[in-house]
Each structure stands twice: as C-alpha cells, then as structure tokens.
Amino acid sequence: MKQEFHIPIDETIAVDAKAANILAAQSELSKQAIKQAMKKGAVWIEDTKGIRRLRRAATIPARNSTLHFYYAPHVLDEVPLTPTLIADEGDYSVWSKPPVMLSQGSKWGDHCTINRWIESNEPFETQPQRNCFIVHRLDRAARGLMLIAHKKNVAAKLSALFEERNISKCYRIIVEGQFSENIQIMDSDIDGKTAYSSASLLTYNAEKNRSLLEVSIKTGRKHQIRIHMSHAGFPIVGDILHGIASADDPHPEELQLSAFSLDFTCPITQKYREYRSQEHLQW
C-alpha cells in the first residue's frame, strides 16, 4: 500500500536531527528501511533551493524545509534489469535499454531507471564514476538505443539534436498482418500535435502472419509509432495499450518495438556517428 509523509522541519524537530531519524520516527519504519528508500529515490527535500531527491541518510534538514517521503513497497522491491553498453564516447555513452527498464523515475523511486543503474554500477573501464543525464526517452515496454550524457552541457547539445530534428532515428517492429511492400506514410495528429511516421517492410512471416518493419519518425509524440500502426490496421505485437494484446493473458508477449539505430553528427567532435542496437525482436 502506498503512503505519503510530508514533514515540515519546524521547532518540534531537533536542530541536529538527521533525515533518516526524522523519517523513521514519523513513518514508524526501521532506519534500515528508510536508508534503502532514500537510496532508491523515494525521499525528497524541499527548501530555498527548490525540491530534489535526498539520498544521504545523515543529512540534517534546515529549518523551514520539508521532507517528502513517498513509500510504495512494491516499487521499492522492483529489481532493475541490466542495460547493454553499445559505445562509450566519454562525454556521453550509448546503451541498449531492455524492456521494462525505465528511462524516467517517479516520485516513488528511480532505482529502476537506466541512468541510476549506470551511476550505481559504474560500468565504465575509464572514469567509472560519472553523472548521468537523460537526453531522450523510450517507452517502458520498448527496448533499444538510448543516449546518456555525462555532463549537463553535453546533455543540452544532444537534446538539441532531437529538438531540431538533426538526428536520424529508426525503429524495428513486428506487427500483426501482412504489410504492403510499398512504404506507408502515417501523418495523423496525436493529441492535437503533428506526427509523422514512415514504415517499410523488411520481411513477412507467413506462418504467423506477422511482418517485420523498419519505421522512421520525424516527430517524437508519446506512443507515436504504436498509435500510428494501430490506426493503420497493423498493431504491434505485444501492445496492450494500443494493439490487440491483452493484459489478462497469463503469458503475454513482450512489446516488439526496438529503437534500432541512431545516426547524427556529434556536437562535441563534429564527427558523424552511427549506432545500431544488438537487441533482437521475437516473432
């Protein structure tokens, strides 16, 4: 069961009280449980600097600040999956995100996000300790390539590539049905915003009546490919939200959508870069 605790740091709190002790007293949870929750991103502090996650149990909150604790045992019990390092470029790295791994946390925690996994596991051979900044997002159910910046200014430059559409993104998907051999353009609006996708057939599996497609997009609306393919009559295999897959299926198929390639001119070195995912979709 989810619980929220919002604790103002006023005269009723000892001036030298540590965050973990305050939270333990208010929530009646053990200090060990509090420390784990803080490590996993479930505790926030709000003060004159704004609101941000608080991970250090020994922090002494300033007077007139507020501690926010979002306790959801089922979220904290989740175990993050392991992403695959595709390329380490120093100022940024390229990863293949597995299905279910998050690209963005919530107020209840962030330990299952790809950036926190990287920061916590220090997977690099050189300069292992690096900050991680999310440049773009990928649906939780999807898999494939993600850029992770390791400096704020690099994150801004890489984000600009997406915003200015100076990056080529291709996806691979498996859909239900036999897709046409002609390239199909889909440009219906999504949530009132312009959206553009194009899909082409790579191969058709007659036995399962499914098609492997390559899709490119010029915009990045939420669930864009999934919505466009569903509207076109070719729902993506495993898509519970927009396709024909059922959440009640005792053995549901994974969403067969992969961010397959990223091509762009690196804003740091000005060299053209091409990255390809090692993930394989399943018929």
Give residue 236's pLDDT. Answer: 98
The one catalytic residue in 91, 110, 139, 239 is 139
For the domain that residue 51 is a member of, what is the CATH number?
3.10.290.10
Q: What is the rounded CA–CA span in Å between residue 236 and residue 99? A: 15
Residue 266 within a domain = no
Give residue 219's pLDDT. Answer: 87
Give residue 82's pLDDT. Answer: 95
Catalogue the long-range contacts made by 104-108 (C-beta closer than 8 Å, 24 or more residues apart).
Answer: 104/134, 104/137, 105/41, 106/75, 107/42, 107/44, 107/68, 107/70, 108/2, 108/42, 108/70, 108/71, 108/72, 108/75, 108/76
Are residue 102 and residue 67 in the same domain, yes or no?
Answer: no
Give residue 101's pLDDT. Answer: 96
Give residue 126's pLDDT. Answer: 82
Burial of 199 (0-12, 13-18, 19+ CB in 10 A): buried
Give residue 229's pLDDT. Answer: 97
Give residue 249's pLDDT. Answer: 87
Q: Is-above-0.85 flag for pTM?
A: yes
Give residue 129's pLDDT. Answer: 86
Residue 264 within a domain = no
Backbone Cα Rg of the chain: 22
Active site annotation includes 239: no
Domains contained in the chain, number: 3
Give residue 170's pLDDT. Answer: 96
Q: What is the mean pLDDT of each run of 10 residues along the chain (283 residues)?
A: 95 94 96 97 97 97 97 96 95 96 96 96 86 94 97 97 93 97 95 95 97 93 95 96 88 94 97 91 91
For the domain that residue 119 is a member of, what is the CATH number?
3.30.2350.10
Residue 278 within a domain = no
Are residue 160 and residue 171 in the same domain, yes or no?
Answer: no
Domain boundary among 31, 47, 76: 76
Domain boundary among 76, 98, 129: 76
User: Strands, DSSP E only, in the chain?
Assistant: 3-8, 43-47, 50-53, 66-71, 84-88, 92-97, 133-134, 143-149, 167-176, 184-186, 197-205, 210-217, 257-265, 272-276
Domain coverage including residue 203: 167-259
